[in-house]
Structure 1
Amino acid sequence: MKQLFCISAKKMLFCILGLCGFSLTLSANELVFDPLLTINNSQQGRQLVELYFQAENSPDNTFNTITSMNTSGVFDNNVFYTAVYYRILHNIAVAKSDLDAASQSAEKLFEYGQSQQLDWILAEGLTLKGILAARQGESKQAFDYIEQAIVICESIHYERLLARALNTRGILHSRNLDYEASLSDYQKAISLLDESNQYHFLGRIYSNISVVYSRLKDWQNAIEYNQKAAELLLKDDNISYELLVVLYSNASNLMLQVNDIAAATDFSHKSTVAARQSDNVQLIVNALWTEAELLLQQQHMSQAEPIILECLSLAHGALDPLASKQCLYGLSEVRFSQKNYEQATEYANQLLLDFEDINNQDWLLKTHQLLAQIYQETAQYPEALAHLTTYYEGTQRQLFDKREKQIYELQVKFDAQLQDEKIALLTAENNLKAATLEKKELQEKLWVIVFSGLTIGIALLIHRYTSNKKRISTLRSTNKNLYIQSNKDPLTGLYNRRFVNNFVEHNITKTGVEYYSVLILDCDLFKKINDTHGHDAGDEVLMACATRLQNRIRANDVLARWGGEEFLILLALESDELQQHILERFNQVIADTPVEYSGHSLKVTISIGATKPILSSELVQHWQHYLTLADSALYQAKSHGRNCAFIDGAIIEAS
Structure 2
Amino acid sequence: MRRSVWLFALLLATNACADSPGDAALPVTIDERNAACLEEEDANPERALALAQSVLDAGALLSPGQRAEALGCRGWSYASLARKDDARRDAHALSELVRSFAAGPERVRLTRRAGSILHRSGDRVGAVDLYARAVADAESQGLEAERIPLLVNLGVLHSEFEEHARAQVNYEQALALMERLGDYRYEAPVRYNLGLNLNGQHRSAEATPHLRRALELIRERAIGGPTQELAATLGLAEALQQSGETAEAQALLQRAKSIELPAPDVSLDYQLTTIEAGQRAAAGNPVAALALLESVDPGKLNEIQQWQLLQMRADLLDRLGRHAQAGAVLRQIITLRENYLRHQNHERLAALDAHMRDREQRLELERLKAEADTQALQLEARERRQWIAAGIAGPLLLLAGGLLLWQRRMNRLLYLASHTDPLTGLANRREMARHLRELSVDEHGSAAVLLIDIDLFKRINDEHGHEAGDLVLKAYAQRLRDNVGEGAYVARWGGEEFLVLLPRTDAARVRELADRLRHLLAEPIAAPKGTLRAGASIGYANLPLPGPRTDDAWHHSVQLADSALYLAKRVGRDAWVGYWIEHAIPEWPAERLGREPHLARSLHLIEPASSRQLREAVASLSAH
Structure number with greater Rg is 1
- TM score, norm. by length of structure 1: 0.46
- TM score, norm. by length of structure 2: 0.48
